[in-house]
Amino acid sequence: MNYFRTALLLAGLTGLFMGVGYLIGGGTGAVIALVIAAATNLFTYWNSDRMVLSTYGAHQVDRNSAPELYDLVAELAKRASLPMPRVFVMDEMQPNAFATGRNPENAAVAVTTGLMQQLSREELAGVIAHELAHIKHHDTLTMTITATIAGAISMLAQFGMFFGGSRDNNNGPGIIGSIAMMILAPLGAMLVQMAISRTREYAADNYGARIVGQPMWLASALAKIENAAHQAPNMEAERNPATAHMFIINPLSGHGVDNLFATHPSTANRIAALQQLAAELGTLAAPRSAGASPPPRSPWGGSTGQRGPWG
């Protein structure tokens, strides 16, 4: 089903690409746009993860450079029966995270420095488990390809404004048509992102919570990240809004159309769903706060007063 959804998504974005090409250059423009879209899709399949990680200046870490983070990811990946993903850190104060990669064997998890500083280990585990759920469900391929192609559609639409080309009658779409193309083409790509993002986030929340066995850890993390995202703008995300849907919480500031065309479900609704899951699992206690004195035992062995998630 995930592969079908990816194919359907690519077909829709390719159709948008061709439509913009037709407006710019008629039938020839549509064919050229199709060739460009095919090449872009192929390039994105193999390189989108590196492109997104590079965009956010993420640097890879290992057990020597970030032992606690690396070991946490390793333990959670083992719990999820996944290969060990590459681990990256972004020098960004806004707490957030995303996963990327075309398949579980070539996946990466990236977290911000703000996330590691502001969340407790339990909350961080909930966030990482959520990202591993995306990898498990092959959502990372969808997310990275969507981000890249949506950005390409926006650039092509802007290009069409300056180089209107000509249709068969050599008149082109005209100034009104060009302006409409600049607005509607990126909007169409945004709507495709929204269509896949909301159910994907709910599914990743649910599966990620089951990986750690404590839904309230993730619920607490989502509340903190949502609050901080509006107080600490992620300027790189603001410059690249087509990648916003990749993050666990929308990294955009929330001004203007950011709220109108949100790529994420309501955080309150996500937390409510996690609370319901916690009630079903009998694990309603919240995690300890970040910066609190560590308990006598590791949080992975039941230090929160509940049965440890590792058995």
pLDDT digits (tens, 9 = 90+) for 52-76: 899 999 999 999 999 999 999 999 9
Size of the chain, expressed as the number of residues it contains = 311
Please count the other Cβ atoms lying within 10 Å of the Cβ belonging to residue 82: 18
Least confident of 161-175, 223-237, 289-303: 289-303
Round to whole Å and give the CA distance between 299 and 212: 11
The residue-averaged pLDDT of 238-252 equals: 86
Is 131 designated active site?
yes
Least confident of 106-120, 170-184, 296-310: 296-310
Residue type, 4: F
Nearest to 215 by CA among 266, 271, 289: 271
The residue-averaged pLDDT of 10-39 equals: 71
Instruction: Place 309 in a pLDDT band, splitting at 50, 70 and 90.
Output: very low
In the three-class reduction of DSSP (H, G, I as helix; E, B as strand; rest coil), residue 88 is classed as strand
Round to whole Å and give the CA distance between 150 and 264: 16
pLDDT digits (tens, 9 = 90+) for 259-294: 545 668 889 999 999 999 999 998 876 666 555 544
Tell me which of 123, 131, 201, 226 is the catalytic residue: 131
Round to whole Å and give the CA distance between 94 and 92: 6
Round to whole Å and give the CA distance between 229 and 213: 26
Q: Please compute, for residue 262, the number of CA atoms within 13 A of its CA located in the half-sphere on the CB side.
A: 16
Query: Among residues of the chain, what percentage have pLDDT more than 90?
Result: 41
Nearest to 145 by CA among 32, 8, 1, 251: 8
Instruction: Look at residue 231 in the predicted model and tell me its pLDDT.
Output: 86
Q: What is the mean pLDDT of the chain?
A: 79
Domain ranges of the chain: 2-286
Instruction: Place 46 in a pLDDT band, splitting at 50, 70 and 90.
Output: confident
In the three-class reduction of DSSP (H, G, I as helix; E, B as strand; rest coil), residue 145 is classed as helix
Helix axes 215-229, 121-136, angle to 10 degrees: 100
Q: Please compute, for residue 181, the number of CA atoms within 13 A of its CA located in the half-sphere on the CB side.
A: 27
60, 88 Cβ separation under 8 angstroms:
yes
Helix axes 2-55, 174-212, angle to 10 degrees: 100
pLDDT digits (tens, 9 = 90+) for 152-191: 676 666 666 665 544 444 545 566 666 666 677 667 766 7
Round to whole Å and give the CA distance between 282 and 291: 26
